[in-house]
Homo-oligomer: A and B are copies of this chain.
């Protein structure tokens, strides 16, 4: 049970977390801050938070748990802003999609080392929508949350963040930050790059406005993630640029090989590639269901 939760960054994730904890009866009071006054006011109006603070520091005053739910490159700034308002024993966690950059930025904001009371987390949940207006209490239900404990990690802080996510219906797993970043470069960051690049290319090809009106359901789902927040994804790609860059290079090589198969009319190999991919995806679906 959290007496006072402070949410710094009132978007889809921060708003949904507030709603989920309230629905679970896991929180007393929720204060929130967002640099954008419109998000702050919307969060208050929608009942997502109880009080809208005028600053990040004011929001965390008296809080026993603080969630930083800002674009990952704003982590250091958010941590510096809340630091003066934290009381002894307060646990701070985040929801960022890159964990090495977050730990480095928190260390930088805290004088060189990550404090024991900071717990790095990443809920594997979201939609392509941005903003507190799209938040909903069930977002994390049945989803994974990855925690990436660090060398100075306080066990009690980790247990409290674990309990927080479990109250939202999520399943908490742990891994190293480097492993996390390599895995999510593959499952999440690269597909976002591919989807953005594909839609941008089509838009430039579509000078006569004949392409998009003829797109069907396959296109809609394939490109859904290209409607995601450009700010958030700019930050993620930038924060994880090494892993993402390596995977993008691999993907380009793969596509060149496919191009060679098509140009060389090596149709059996094209068929075999499609068949392997379908089998792999069916195995994946069997794992997650």
Contacts and interface: CB of A to CB of B under 8 A. Distances in A.
Contact of A270 (B222, B234, B258, B278): B234
A109 interface: no
A255 B248 contact: yes
A238, A262, A275, A284 interface centre (most CB from chain B within 10 Å): A284
A186 B199 contact: no
A210 interface: yes
B187 A228 contact: no
A212 to B, nearest CB: 4
A263 B249 CA distance: 11
Given A196-B277, A276-B203, A183 B284 contact: no
A3 interface: no
Interface in A195-252: 195-203, 205-206, 210-228, 230-231, 233-234, 237-238, 241, 244-245, 248-252
Given A200-B276, A230-B278, A280-B199, A219 B248 contact: no
A127 interface: yes
Contacts of A124: 214, 216
Interface residues of A, number: 88
A134 interface: no
Contacts of A224: 218, 221-222
A146 B200 contact: no
Contacts of A233: 274
Given A196-B274, A215-B284, A237 B225 contact: no
A282 interface: yes
A179 interface: yes
B202 A125 contact: no
Interface of A: 124-128, 143-144, 146, 179, 183-184, 186-188, 190-203, 205-206, 210-228, 230-231, 233-234, 237-238, 241, 244-245, 248-252, 254-256, 258-259, 262-263, 265, 267, 270-271, 273-278, 280-285, 287-288
The 6 closest A-B pairs by CB, nearest first: A203-B280, A230-B274, A212-B284, A199-B277, A196-B277, A187-B215
21 contacts: A124-B214, A127-B217, A128-B218, A144-B216, A187-B202, A187-B216, A188-B216, A188-B219, A194-B194, A197-B251, A197-B273, A198-B277, A200-B280, A220-B285, A221-B225, A222-B224, A227-B278, A234-B274, A249-B259, A252-B252, A252-B259
